[in-house]
Structures are given as structure tokens and as C-alpha cells.
Amino acid sequence: MKDKLVYIAILVSIVTYQFWIYLPKGSFYIGMALFVFVLSYILFLQNKAKFPYFLLLCLSINNLLDELFFDATKMGWNEVISAILIPIFYHARKIHKQ
């Protein structure tokens, strides 16, 4: 599974970097956000118990959602909501493990 994700990340990166001029406007940033998300997910799968990897995954999800649905050039409600939800999700994960 992890090997396939690495290949997907590499493919997304190569396509984004090599063909960004031919892709619709904003596709470069979406591609890079997707690339970072996939790599963060791989790291999280390898280190599920450690908070920095969970935080990295959450921030990469926020970045991807920001590029897809929100204005990535401005601080918005999605950043505020993420700042509130990340500690809640982390605490819920710790409680669920017990």
C-alpha cells in the first residue's frame, strides 16, 4: 500500500511540475498540495502514535482543502476551524486508543 502511494506521489509531482503550463490556472498549487498530502499520509501511516505526524497530516489536509475550495491567499474560516478541530481530533484519538 505504502509503495503504491509513493508512486502516486511521484506521478503527481512529475505531472504537476512538467505540465503546469498546460494545466488550468491554479492546478500547480493543487498538485503540490496533493503531493504533500500523500507524503504526509505515508509518514502518518508509519508513525501513527506520534503527534507531529498527525499534525502534519491535518495541516496538509487543510492545505489541500484550501487550494480546492477556499481562497488560499487569505486567512479564512477554514484555518480557524482547523485550529479548533486538530486538538479535538487528537484528543479523541487518544481516548479511543484507551
pLDDT in tens, 81-95: 888 888 888 777 776
Q: Left, alpha or beta for 74 (phi > 0: left; psi -120 to 50: alpha)?
A: beta
pTM of the model: 0.82
- Domain ranges, ordered by start, for the chain: 2-97
pLDDT in tens, 11-58: 999 999 898 888 888 889 999 999 999 999 999 999 888 888 999 999
Name the nearest CA neighbour of 5 among 40, 29, 31, 48: 40
